[in-house]
């Protein structure tokens, strides 16, 4: 709809009529939460049989009773499981408790407190910066903010971060110590990095010798369709280029088994594994190995994981289709609204023109919550007020139909308000 072709009177009438639509939806008194990418209860139910696997178990892994202290790097079987999923060697993997995010936080803290590989601790440097492709994952940016790391925003393109901007910056500036990457089914745009981008990240010259790539492969097995996006194995490139110490790769079973009771890992060079182990020694006498043991019994291997992920996909796919259909029905060929059509992951990313915050506010007034506008950018600064992240996993299909009616109506209202203000304000 090109509202600019309407007279002021016509536009005001249309706006009033759309406001009525939203009011009517609000009157239904429903509450739909689409703020975070959480698995639904139906998805979580898929892994409840995991508890049966330990009914008659002996709890022994490599002659160690997993119910006891020890094994700071994780059980052999869980290390092998993540190694197979990520295409690395098991000695390159440390498995810990739930939350890969907490490992990321710890690794930044270790670098700040102790330094990496003999280099000056980041705490002692006047400034430490990270490259933050945006839109990106708000929690990565939150770690930087909490720990005093300056964020440099670079645009996220269709094939990954804009490497033409990243390369010269990291080459010239030794205070740039890291880059956040969600390389597959990226949060929130859903894209998967191209081979070229993976190669450039793994091999680019960096002024900082202690530069680290935080390769958050949170959605490594989270395809929605039979045809899965292919992500180049960054370790294969880094091993050839002799840059493997630069890579910290993360994954977890938060969206495979249980978000609150999964297992997580970091994969990196054996040298880095030893360094991280030296810090973990003081932090813990060992992770929850019972959970690691149980996960390995339940999931077995990569094939077992992929089988389970197919069941997740069967639950998630119709929800993504509802979102896409609602947007397509309302906004096909409309340049004001663009949205992603991801092959996997947990999000649909919507771009509008200069009114994301207003749309989120209007939707909230009718009971539908989205992640705060701006959250997908460092410092919450979405300069063009454009990006909204939709997380369709938790609501039922019926709730989603409702939420999308609200969302579409909120977009139309916000847009008409802009046109009225821009074209007809005296």
Binders of ligand PLP in range 189-248 (CB under 6 A)? 216, 218
| Residue selected from 90, 100, 189, 376 as contacting ligand PLP according to rule CB under 6 A | 100
| Residue from 252, 268, 393, 409 in contact with ligand PLP (CB under 6 A) | 252
Shortest CA distance to 403 belongs to which of 351, 372, 376, 366? 366
In the chain, what is the greatest distance between 2 CA atoms, to the nearest angstrom? 81
Q: How far apart are CA 142 and CA 105, in angstroms?
A: 10
Which distant-in-sequence residues (6+ apart) come within 8 Å of 124 by Cβ? Answer: none
- For the bound state, the minimum distance from the C-beta of residue 326 to ligand PLP, rounded and expressed in Å, comes to 23
Pairing status of strand 247-252 against strand 212-216: parallel
Among the candidate windows 1-9, 98-106, 325-333, 382-390, which touches ligand PLP by CB under 6 A? 98-106
Whether 138 and 379 have beta carbons less than 8 Å apart is answered as: no
302 and 228 Cβ atoms separated by less than 8 Å:
no
Copy the structure tokens of residue 171. 């080459």
Write down the number of H helices and E strands in the chain: 13, 15
Stretch that binds ligand PLP, among 96-104, 106-114, 349-357, 399-407 (CB under 6 A): 96-104
Residues 140-199 interacting with ligand PLP (rule: CB under 6 A)? 182, 187
What is the rounded distance in angstroms from the CA atom of residue 225 to the CA atom of residue 267? 27
With tokens 């998967």, the residue in question is 192
Is the CB of 101 or the CB of 197 nearer to ligand PLP? 101
- DSSP-H helix ranges across 60-157: 76-86, 100-114, 138-146
Q: Write phi, then psi, for 377 (nearest 5 degrees).
A: -125, 145
Least distance to ligand PLP from the beta carbon of 143, Å? 11
State the binding string over 3-22 for ligand PLP (x if CB under 6 A, else -): --------------------
Cβ neighbours around 146 below 10 Å, total = 10
Q: Tell me whether residue 101 or residue 394 sits nearer to ligand PLP (CB atom).
A: 101
Output the smallest distance, CB 218 to ligand PLP, in A. Answer: 4
Phi-psi region of 385 (alpha: psi -120 to 50; beta: other; left: phi over 0): left
Q: How far is the CB of 181 from ligand PLP (least distance, A)?
A: 9
Label residue 278 exposed, middle or buried (CB < 10 Å: 0-12, 13-18, 19+): exposed
Report the nearest approach of ligand PLP to the CB of residue 104 (Å): 8
Q: How far is the CB of 245 from ligand PLP (least distance, A)?
A: 22
Q: How far is the CB of 100 from ligand PLP (least distance, A)?
A: 3
The residue among 259 and 394 lying less far from ligand PLP, judged by its C-beta, is 259
User: Is the Cβ of residue 344 or residue 367 nearer to ligand PLP in the bound state?
Assistant: 344
Using alpha carbons, list the distances in angstroms from residue 161 to 32, 105, 166, 229, 376.
32, 22, 8, 17, 14
Q: What is the DSSP letter of 255?
A: T
- Contact with ligand PLP (CB under 6 A) among 19, 99, 123, 311: 99
User: Looking only at residues 310 through 349 of this chain, which bind ligand PLP when binding is defined by CB under 6 A?
Assistant: none
Which window, 81-89, 93-101, 126-134, 330-338, contacts ligand PLP (CB under 6 A)? 93-101
User: Minimal distance in Å, beta carbon 340 to ligand PLP?
Assistant: 14
- Our CB check for ligand PLP shows the closer of 11 and 198 to be 198
Distances (CA, A) of 282 to 143, 286, 353: 22, 10, 50
Residue among 68 and 284 whose Cβ is closer to ligand PLP: 284
- Compute the least distance from the CB of residue 249 to ligand PLP, in Å: 12
Query: Between 25 and 265, whose beta carbon lies closer to ligand PLP?
Result: 265
Quick one: 187 or 349, whose CB is closer to ligand PLP?
Answer: 187
* CA 366, chain centre distance (Å): 27
- In 3D space, the residue among 250, 242, 207, 235 whose CA is nearest the CA of residue 119 turns out to be 207
Using CB under 6 A, pick the residue from 15, 25, 37, 249 that binds ligand PLP: 37
**Among 90, 192, 243, 264, interactor with ligand PLP by CB under 6 A:** 264
**Among the listed residues 137, 248, 298, 402, the single contact to ligand PLP using CB under 6 A:** 137
Write the burial class of residue 408 (CB in 10 Å: 0-12 exposed, 13-18 middle, 19+ buried): buried
* Interacting residues with ligand PLP (CB under 6 A): 37, 99-101, 137, 182, 187, 216, 218, 252, 254, 259, 264
């Amino acid at each position: 709809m090109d509202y600019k072709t309407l007279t002021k009177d016509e536009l005001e009438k249309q706006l009033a009529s759309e406001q009525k639509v939203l009011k009517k939806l609000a009157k239904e008194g429903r509450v739909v939460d689409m703020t975070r990418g959480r698995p639904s209860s139906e998805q979580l139910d898929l892994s409840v049989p995991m508890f049966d696997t330990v009914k008659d178990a002996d709890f022994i892994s490599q002659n160690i009773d997993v119910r006891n202290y020890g094994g700071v790097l994780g059980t052999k079987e869980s290390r092998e499981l993540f190694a197979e999923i990520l295409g690395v060697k098991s000695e390159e993997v440390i498995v810990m408790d739930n939350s890969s995010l907490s490992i990321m936080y710890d690794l930044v803290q270790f670098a700040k407190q102790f330094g990496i590989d003999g280099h000056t601790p980041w705490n002692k440097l006047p400034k430490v910066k990270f490259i933050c492709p945006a839109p990106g994952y708000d929690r990565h940016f939150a770690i930087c903010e909490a720990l005093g790391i300056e964020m440099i925003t670079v645009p996220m393109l269709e094939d990954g971060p804009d490497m033409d901007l990243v390369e010269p910056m990291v080459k010239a500036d030794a205070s740039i110590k890291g880059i956040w990457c969600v390389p597959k089914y990226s949060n929130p745009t859903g894209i998967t990095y191209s081979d070229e981008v993976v190669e450039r990240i793994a091999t680019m010259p960096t002024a900082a010798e202690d530069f680290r790539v935080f390769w958050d492969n949170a959605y490594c097995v989270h395809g929605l369709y039979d045809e899965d996006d292919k992500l180049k194995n960054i370790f294969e490139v880094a091993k050839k280029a002799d840059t493997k110490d630069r890579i910290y790769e993360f994954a977890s079973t938060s969206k495979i088994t249980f978000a609150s009771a999964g297992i997580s890992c970091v994969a990196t060079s054996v040298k880095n594994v030893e360094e991280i182990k030296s810090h973990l020694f003081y932090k813990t006498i060992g992770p929850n190995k019972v959970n690691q043991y149980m996960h390995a019994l339940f999931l077995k291997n990569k094939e077992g994981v992929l089988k389970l992920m197919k069941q997740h996909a069967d639950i998630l796919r119709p929800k993504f289709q509802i979102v896409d259909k609602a947007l397509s029905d309302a906004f096909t060929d409309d340049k004001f609204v663009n949205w992603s059509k991801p092959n996997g992951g947990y999000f649909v990313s919507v771009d509008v023109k200069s009114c994301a915050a207003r749309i989120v506010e209007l939707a909230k007034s009718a009971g539908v919550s989205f992640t705060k506008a701006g959250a997908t950018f460092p410092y919450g600064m979405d300069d063009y007020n454009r990006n909204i992240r939709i997380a369709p996993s938790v609501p039922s299909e019926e709730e989603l139909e409702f939420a999308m009616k609200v969302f579409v109506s909120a977009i139309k209202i916000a847009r008409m308000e802009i046109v009225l203000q821009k074209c007809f304000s005296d």
